[in-house]
Homo-oligomer: A and B are copies of this chain.
Amino acid sequence: MTKKVKPRLSRGLRDLLPDQMLARQWMIDKVRGVYELYGFAPLATPAIEYLDVLRGSAGEEAQGSIFRVTNKEEEELGLRFDLTVPLARVFAQYQQELPRPFRRYQVASVWRGDKPDKGRYREFTQFDLDSVGVAPEIADTEIVAGMCDSLAALGVERYRVRFSSRALLTLLLEHAEIAAERAAGVFRVLDKLDKIGAEKVRRELTTGYRDQSGDIIEGLGLTAAQVDRIEAFLAIREASRAAVIAALRELFRGLPGADETIDSVARISGHLAALGYGDDQVALDLSIARGLAYYTGPVFEAVLLDAPQFGSVFGGGRYDDLVTRFTGQPVPAVGASMGVDRLLAALTHLGKVDDRKSTSQVLVTRMDRDLTRDYLQLTWELRRAGVPAELFLGKPGSVGKQLKYADRMGIPLAILFGSNEKEAGVVTVKDLDAGRRQAASVESRAEWLHQRPGQLEVQRSDLVAKVREILDAV
């Protein structure tokens, strides 16, 4: 016998035990159902890509954290850090074979060697939805609607998809007479608005300031008039999309290109309205930015209004330069990515997720070795009728121990069957939930024994029908 190996995982990695996996699968199946109803088709790509394929693409911040992989041929390989880069590679690689538009979803692990933190893992799941090679506005509308329908399918009553457009920010730069090459710097400061407040943002955009620790924050040197125009833009916070659009038309009146840009945003908003997605569900919010270097048009994100602390659970937008790196040609594309871990955490917080540890609905207990065949037959009878059932496979021991197992696994019903039952042609069905409720209302042990809470004797031939009836009632 060789030395014992310690069972453990490297930091930032984790196992998903059955209770976590059941919740995750439920969520993924629901969202997959919506995407397939929309006619998106699944794609899978390998975890391992060439390093030069992974590098130099849009998701710059993820580049430094690529897990390196080596094969026998000693090639330069790495694990994918998102699903967008592989999509771009696939679209470029199979241009002749793939239909245009290419509308795909992909749910898969990605790896980033960042510093692990609470809720931040080095391997995590992304669930992406993208349309490549597609017309604007209708495609954008569909992605936003898909986000809404996914959240609704998961039982979220109050959510909000916020959208804006990179093109509106370009208009703002022109309106405020800020050179395009200064855009990145200006947006970096504006992104801090929630964190440091309007006054400090203003000072950083103009003359700079000295912060609490005495450090000097340099200013960007914009004029007061320029900052006034930025503030006027950000001050547009009307509740209805139509009102925001009207305010934008007013603000950018006479600016070249303003009409086309605002018309495009208005078309998305109008399409959504025609499909019944009102202002409660989708807001035009000029403060959202979402990594602007990456996106080229509309940007979207979704939050749960009853769990805002979890941040945005969906993010996306239009990125027309997706495939350019491989083909030299721009290809229009729009998509969204669901944060599986974050959304699941939020849904769990909201009590929308079942706390199940097992797929079984019924545990068939084993009380008597001589009745093994009967136990097998009872179990298969239920399974063949479509009722998920489990025969207790541990050491038989006491029935109490087996019921404890059912309880621990969250299995709602148990079947008890001994030689007495066999003779009488009956089966005892124990409703563990009802049993718990009834037992709490019983005063003495004698009474408890007499009543045997949650227990029910049914005819052997009625078993499946009775089990179904109890399960349907839950």
Binding site for B on A (CB under 8 A): 1-2, 4-11, 13-18, 21-22, 24-25, 35-50, 52-53, 56, 67-73, 75, 77, 79, 88-90, 92-94, 97-101, 103-104, 109, 111, 113, 122-123, 131, 133-135, 138-139, 141-142, 145, 270-271, 274-276, 324-328, 357-360, 372-373, 375-377, 380, 383, 386-391, 393-396, 405, 408-409, 411
- Count of identical protomers in the assembly: 2
When the two chains form their complex, are residues A10 and B42 in contact, meaning their CB atoms are under 8 A apart?
no
Q: Are the C-beta atoms of B92 and A138 separated by less than 8 Å?
A: no
Q: Which residues of B contact A271 (CB under 8 A)?
A: 372-373, 376
Asked whether A141 lies within 8 Å of B359 as measured between CB atoms, the reply is no
Q: Which residues of chain B are near A42, meaning CB under 8 Å?
A: 18, 21-22, 25
Residue among A46, A67, A111 with max Cβ neighbours from chain B (10 Å): A46
A326 B357 Cβ-Cβ under 8 A: no
Q: Are A408 and B99 closer than 8 Å at their CB atoms?
A: yes
Contacts of A394 in B (CB 8 A): 100-101, 133-135
| 5 pairs, CB–CB < 8 Å, chain A vs chain B | A10-B48, A18-B43, A38-B390, A39-B389, A271-B373
* The one of B16, B99, B386 that contacts A44, using a Cβ cutoff of 8 Å: B16
Closest 7 CB pairs of A and B: A39-B390, A39-B360, A18-B41, A7-B93, A16-B44, A21-B42, A7-B92
Which residues of the partner chain B approach A40 to less than 8 Å between Cβ atoms? 359
Q: Is the CB of B123 within 8 A of A393?
A: no
| Contact residues in B for A270 (Cβ distance below 8 Å) | 373
Give the complex CA separation of A188 and B131 in angstroms: 54
A180–B327 Cα distance when bound, in Å, is 63
Q: Which residues of B contact A145 (CB under 8 A)?
A: 380
The answer to whether A50 and B10 have CB atoms under 8 Å apart is: yes
Contact assessment for B69 and A79 in the assembled complex, using a CB-CB cutoff below 8 Å: yes
Q: How far is the CA of A4 from the CA of B89 in the complex (A)?
A: 12
Structural contact, A47 and B47, CB atoms closer than 8 A = yes
Query: A41 — which chain B residues lie within 8 A by C-beta?
Result: 18, 21-22, 357-359
Contact between B7 and A274 (Cβ–Cβ < 8 Å)?
no
Interface pair B37/A405, CB less than 8 Å apart: no
A145 CA to B381 CA in the complex, in Å?
Answer: 13
Q: A10-B48, A71-B67 are in contact. Are A5 and B39 (CB under 8 A)?
A: no
B109 touches A47 (CB 8 A): yes
B4 x A326 contact (CB < 8 A): yes
Per the bound structure, the CA–CA distance linking A141 and B377 in Å amounts to: 12
Shortest distance from the beta carbon of A69 to any chain B beta carbon, whole Å: 6
User: By the criterion CB–CB under 8 Å, are B325 and A2 in contact?
Assistant: yes
Question: Provided the pairs A10-B77, A16-B44, A47-B47 are in contact, do residues A393 and B142 lie with their beta carbons within 8 angstroms?
Answer: yes
Given contacts A43-B21, A358-B39, A388-B39, contact A72 B113 (CB under 8 A): yes
Please tell me which one of the listed residues B5, B67, B90, B274 contacts residue A15 in the complex, with CB atoms under 8 A apart.
B90
Are A4 and B274 in contact, with the CB atoms below 8 A? no
Q: Considering the chains assembled together, what is the distance between the CA atoms of A7 and B95 in angstroms?
A: 11
Q: Contact check, A357 vs B138: say whether CB atoms are below 8 A apart.
A: no
Tell me which residues across on chain B come within 8 A of A276, comparing CB atoms. Answer: 380
Q: Which residues of B contact A99 (CB under 8 A)?
A: 357, 405, 408-409
Do A48 and B70 touch (CB < 8 A)? no
Within 8 Å CB of A18, what residues of B?
41-43, 104
**Bound CA–CA A71/B114 (angstroms):** 10
State whether A141 touches B376 (Cβ < 8 A).
Answer: yes
Docked CA distance A158–B39 (Å): 34
- A6 and B40 CA atoms in complex are apart in Å by 27
Q: How far is the CA of A48 from the CA of B13 in the complex (A)?
A: 8
A36 to chain B, nearest CB (A): 4
Interface centre among A52, A100, A372 (most CB of B within 10 A): A372
Contacts of A123 in B (CB 8 A): 46-48
Shortest C-beta distance, A390 to chain B (Å), equals 3
CA distance A79 to B69 in the complex (A): 9
